[in-house]
Structure 1
Amino acid sequence: MPVHRSGTARKRRLTAAGVLLAAFSFFLATPSSADTDAGADAGAAAPPARGSAYMGIGVAAHDGRSGTPTSADVTQTEGVDVSGYQGNVAWSTLWNSGVRWAYTKATEGTYYTNPSFTQQYNGSYNVGMIRGSYHFATPDTTSGAAQANYFVDHGGGWSKDGKTLPGSLDIEWNPYGAACYGKSASAMVSWIADFLNTYKARTGRDAVIYTATSWWTQCTGNYGGFAANNPLWIARYASTVGTLPAGWGFYTMWQYTSSGPTVGDHDKFNGALDRVKALANG
């Protein structure tokens, strides 16, 4: 009888130890909620393919979601901006809807040219629009001067034909990594100045700066030194443009939505069509 009790107790102890061991092993093998959330965030934050960036790629997440612009005191002229993402664009449809100016992505960094550039750049021109091209900046890959030269050499030039707008520098959130491309505010300002100075030396025109106030404040320290020469193209998906970056008392263009008709990104030029032509003519 004592032997029987001893065997039973031993089995109970072994069984209890087994249960505890299994529970401990399950705990080690099962990720915590924090681990799961981190994995989900990592998956969601996976960067897109190089070259696939476009104007406003980070705007919806950081600086506005949607909204219809309120009526302005001056006439505003509808525009559109496109990239390789849109492929062949129905320019006649856009023209018939009232769009009168357009910008096409030409380049990114010193490694990408838009495969749809010719159809988009020439197509907008052929239906009567005043058009220009833009460069998506990647300040962490090459210098501002190198990217300005690459831009000019691959569609970013300018000619005084009355229908070609000066090139635009798209400087905004980094879709491939850290928002400010790993640069301090002063280093970012220097990079932008390098691009702008080189572009003007090559073309004789001051480039348009496309940006969002929140990014500009974070990544340049809200630098105001470019406002005297470089027209501002502000990005904000809301009913108003809100606060502008330092130095600019007004915007020249406003990208107000990424969900417009026919093509996603629609814009307002802060003036009538004759002012769009004036910017084209320099």
Structure 2
Amino acid sequence: MNRTVASAAVLAVFAAVVLAPPARADYSMAGENYAGTQIARHEGVQGTPRAEAVGQTLGHDVSGHQGPVDWAAAAGAGAKFSYVKATEGTGFVNPQFGQQYDGAHAAGIIRGAYHFARPDISGGAAQAEYFIAHGGGWRADGTTLPGALDVEYNPYGDACYGKSPADMTAWITDFTRTYLAKVKRSALIYTSTTWWKRCTGNTNRFGDTNPLWLARYAPQIGELPAGWAKQSIWQFARGGGLPGDQNYYNGPIGRVQALAKG
């Protein structure tokens, strides 16, 4: 092979590998991904609290796969707050977000938005900005909760999105720092203790800055991730005949209102 032909071959390989457009991110399951779907799949359901928790406040979380929500009925059944999925990664917006988010507000329910993390697609800062731009912000109106980061098992492959504990911790740090800088509120972190141990090495970095929303479907809340002395919200059940999943805020309605007010 002469030098000209060899050079042409090298350039062709360079163009194919380096200049080729990046593979499109996979959002094929985004419409069905919601807070806890993967936690239930990986960790199972061991039951629900045996009796209504005294001093706790009932709330729900919903996403697009549920379609339009009857918020008047939810409020009538005792719901006081709700989190609504807004976004996933940097390429998916819940098509039901407007009805679900604004509908909760119209029914007198304190509501907030959450983001389904995709650390395999883009950086934490980019996803925080995407979330804020598509409904994940906060308003000092007394009825809007700060946004939440849903970080759990990867629906598309490796549980930890191919990241080491140090890299996952750095990704979460980028998201939460960006959210705080842009919105002036700390985002909640939604996760399970088992995933947190596995994928962050049980880092205690966020306990003093970001309220914990813990998923565990069992009669007792059990062990918390490192760094948190208590949870703000416990997602304790899937469905149950009411809109979305079931949650208890750790305190009376006044605590929920205080979180909304900032």
Normalising by the smaller structure, the TM-score range is 0.7 to 0.9
Q: Does 1:49 align with 2:13?
A: no
Q: Does 1:155 align with 2:135?
A: yes
Equivalent pairs: percent with the same residue?
53
Structure 2's unaligned 5+ residue stretches are 1-25
Partner of 1:201: 181
Partner of 2:109: 129
Q: Does 1:173 align with 2:153?
A: yes
Query: For 1:71-108, what per-residue CA distance to the aligned partner results, in whole angstroms no more than 9, with x for missing partners?
Result: 58750000000000011001011100001100000000
Structure 1 SS opposite 2:37: coil
Contact 2:140–2:260 (CA<8 Å) still a contact in 1? yes
Partner of 2:126: 146
Contact 2:60–2:82 (CA<8 Å) still a contact in 1? yes
Alignment of 1:95-114 (within 5 A): 95-114=75-94
Structure 2 SS opposite 1:107: strand
Partner of 2:252: 272
Partner of 1:3: none
Partner of 1:86: 66
Contact 1:162–1:281 (CA<8 Å) still a contact in 2? yes
Alpha-carbon distance between aligned partners in 2 of 1:242 and 1:48, rounded to the nearest angstrom: 33
Alpha-carbon distance between aligned partners in 1 of 2:241 and 2:213, rounded to the nearest angstrom: 20
Contact 2:215–2:235 (CA<8 Å) still a contact in 1? yes
Comparing both structures, which one devotes a greater share of its residues to helix?
1
Aligned residue among 219, 223, 238 for 1:258: 238
Partner of 1:61: 41
Q: Does 1:211 align with 2:191?
A: yes
Contact 1:143–1:191 (CA<8 Å) still a contact in 2? yes
Question: Which structure would you say has the larger Rg?
Answer: 1
State the 1:235 CA deviation: 0.2
Structure 2 SS opposite 1:99: coil
Alpha-carbon distance between aligned partners in 1 of 2:46 and 2:72, rounded to the nearest angstrom: 26
Alpha-carbon distance between aligned partners in 2 of 1:72 and 1:245, rounded to the nearest angstrom: 24
Structure 2 SS opposite 1:268: strand
Alpha-carbon distance between aligned partners in 2 of 1:48 and 1:265, rounded to the nearest angstrom: 22
Alpha-carbon distance between aligned partners in 2 of 1:85 and 1:72, rounded to the nearest angstrom: 27
Amino acid at match of 1:138: R
Alpha-carbon distance between aligned partners in 2 of 1:120 and 1:264, rounded to the nearest angstrom: 11
Structure 1 SS opposite 2:48: coil
Alpha-carbon distance between aligned partners in 2 of 1:108 and 1:232, rounded to the nearest angstrom: 20
Amino acid at match of 1:96: G
TM-score (norm 1): 0.81
Alpha-carbon distance between aligned partners in 1 of 2:34 and 2:124, rounded to the nearest angstrom: 18
Partner of 1:115: 95
Query: For 1:29-77, what per-residue CA distance to the aligned partner results, in whole angstroms no more than 9, with x for missing partners?
Result: xxxxxxxxxxxxxxxxxx9824221100112233340422145875000
Q: Flag the 1:99–1:66 CA change in 2: closer, same or farther, 3 A.
A: farther
TM-score (norm 2): 0.87
Query: For 1:198-224, what per-residue CA distance to the aligned partner results, in whole angstroms no more than 9, with x for missing partners?
Result: 000110000000000000000000001
Structure 1's unaligned 5+ residue stretches are 1-46
Query: For 1:135-155, what per-residue CA distance to the aligned partner results, in whole angstroms no more than 9, with x for missing partners?
Result: 000001000000000000000
Contact 1:105–1:117 (CA<8 Å) still a contact in 2? yes
Q: Flag the 1:245–1:143 CA change in 2: closer, same or farther, 3 A.
A: same
